[in-house]
Chain A
Amino acid sequence: MSQGFDSIQPGDVVEGPKFAVTRETIRDFCDASLDYNPLHLDDKYMEGSFGKTSFGGVIMHGMTNFGLLTRMLTDWAYPQGALHRRLETRWRAPVRPGDTIQPMARVTRKQATHQSRWVLLDVDIRNQSGVLIATGEAMVEFPHDLTAALSI
């Protein structure tokens, strides 16, 4: 476990798998998250404008980005005995059916604290054209004792 932390360096890149967005994946996310906001279901509703924003059709849930970033972070953390502890995100652009998006992370810093060790990462999601969809920051803990860290 400590080997993982010691070998990590600022600038290290983590990539998550690509995710192809369709009406079906959006519908599945409605059923899985219980978020049935018409933003994600109703094309007619989405023809209108929302204050200063106009989408022109249904959009993917912003929180799907959050789920995909989480998957990337936990898939990286679990094999190292590490814990995904924090994720902060901001949405930059909407995602539509037909888009393919991919999460990425870059290690920015390592930090030892009184009782543990942390890796800080910048995260983002881009679509197939390289457009920035979401940005944020994450914190992954590399505890000295994973079992103890899980039973706090």
Chain B
Amino acid sequence: MTEFETDFWKDAARRKVWDQLVPGEPRATLPYLLTLDAIQKYCRSVGETHPLYFDEAYAKRTPYGGIVAPPSIHILLMFACTPADDWMRSPGTINAGQSWSYVRPARPGDTITLQARCLDKFIRKDRLFAVHDNVFFNQHGQVICAGRGQTIRPM
């Protein structure tokens, strides 16, 4: 991920503003190789220490059959699977809430793909809202998780 642009201002002018979001239109996405290192870095950032995420010998003895990522790994995948000009990176984007359903775990070595879109947009109490709808898949075309969220768009 050395090429990941961490300056979210750099591509700001290329990102869609609320007016340009078309409900139903797919977002551009990128495949992402999920590594053990990325899983464990995410785990440490939220204090996850479960051996299912860190101890391969332990994980192999469980019905999981090996190390998995925690369900909330989609937090990383959302940014890992979208390009630098994706509107979710617009500085000032405020997360208002999310809902996610978990189907099967992501695993180290998985190549993750994303199907995503702005599903709806509306104005409420002078704020511009966009609803985003997302499904992550593994390299076998199996659903890992599906979710949607609402963000308040920068004015």
Contact = CB atoms under 8 A, between A and B. Distances in A.
A43 interface: no
A74 B89 contact: no
Given A34-B80, A39-B92, A91-B95, A68 B46 contact: yes
B46 A67 contact: yes
Interface string A62-93: 11101110110011001001011111111100
Contacts of A85: 101-102
A32 B126 contact: no
Nearest to A31: B41
Contacts of B152: 50-51, 53
Q: Size class of A's contact patch?
A: 35 or more
A152 interface: yes
A66 B41 contact: no
B47 A37 contact: no
Interface string B92-113: 1111111111111100000000
Nearest to B40: A32
Nearest to B155: A51
27 contacts: A31-B45, A33-B45, A34-B1, A34-B79, A35-B78, A36-B7, A36-B89, A38-B8, A50-B152, A53-B152, A66-B98, A67-B45, A67-B70, A70-B70, A70-B72, A71-B46, A71-B70, A78-B52, A86-B101, A87-B71, A87-B72, A87-B99, A88-B97, A89-B97, A91-B95, A150-B105, A152-B103
